[in-house]
Structure 1
């Protein structure tokens, strides 16, 4: 694993072992059954369906506001976010620009996308590359087993981790000889490695699983590019990952502001309605702190291109 910043990790110990983030069944159902209408209303910024979802999210955040351990965790994370964003090595990549987010309204899920580096071809399918990387040598048998048990021919679906019929974490999605597939499978492989070793759905486990997933995505693709890519590709990959972190930190700051009813404290890069299509913001109010801490855990250790 990559080095950890202990100032980032320490507050996790204050989270109750059995704490969980509640889901929003109404929002999940709306997304599943009426996604196109929800997307249209989110872009317009008005509509009965989107307003009902946003009311539910605001109510859920208001309830979380009264949870002492979560307030401590969010406030501690917010202080660290401000410190990291002030570091000179991130000055040109972490501050978000409106142009980075406006395209999200057109996507089913507004996740960071890059039409250049993610589309670069690789010399082999992602699963084959990952199984042979020296960085995974000490876990090669486990990695090979996970990849063999996963379903990597599912066209048209994003990479994701689910439990199979035996309760084992596996990866779903479509493998391909691209950086996009390599990054996606590497990320989900991190989830699988953690969740198979330590099954559980507490907030602590979600922090650790997301940290490992973020870490492996960045490190494994960077290792491949160092071996077979160009210096320009390595720099593009580093900059892309910093944009992922910028999204994570922005959405965390926005959710904190909404929770504390201080929306003016975050520069408006998009209307609140559009942010409903941020996957975890939409489904799990309060969850943005998990993504923010995953980014914080890797930023201090990866300060250079």
Structure 2
């Protein structure tokens, strides 16, 4: 679409193109001519969309806060699921994972050697020493937000505590790499370097993703890779960073019975933290955490 300077901008802001994304497009064109991979227009959120994602994230953050206050030894993962579901519905949201591609619950609960997509159940009871990832995605007025947190139940081993803390540091190393007009590959490189320097591996089979107008959008966010590669990070992009860190090999397998839950192939512990990130004109903003 070729726009004149005084046409309304393609982003849907209602502002004249010259006052909105004209210079942005010029910069992307220059970068593309230099051989860089640049984001398409549909990956750039406008101010109204960003505000909608923020409002969704307020619910998503709130349900994870509620779980943080209540999670304990002896609790079933189904009880955690009910807390999240009821909180989300009460605040006007919709649990995005419920019935997504057949997933049966409103959150994911992944314990110890479960890497991701653990399914809540009345039969799974939290025990002293467990580590658990709770992953929540919320829809509010058709806007999506996504985040996950790790929880340590009772007295955990030094090994368990270290992987939980290191996984969180990996997340923040990735976030620190987010700068406008830098590269998506910078994120993966930062995560991988920190994880491997601490003796851990990074799961290859899953990664972060664009989010906001749908549960999974482009781009795919690798948590390993090479600095200065992959897509340009442009202001207005919204995506998750969610490194899954294993205590042993990065290899995983999917439970054949439920078709969802991923486990470490060698039985080692796994930990993950996830935030939703907005690239801004001068840095980044953590929207959901």
Higher helix share: 1
What is the TM-score with the length of structure 2 in the denominator?
Answer: 0.31
Greater relative contact order (Cα < 8 A, sep 6+): 1
Higher strand share: 2
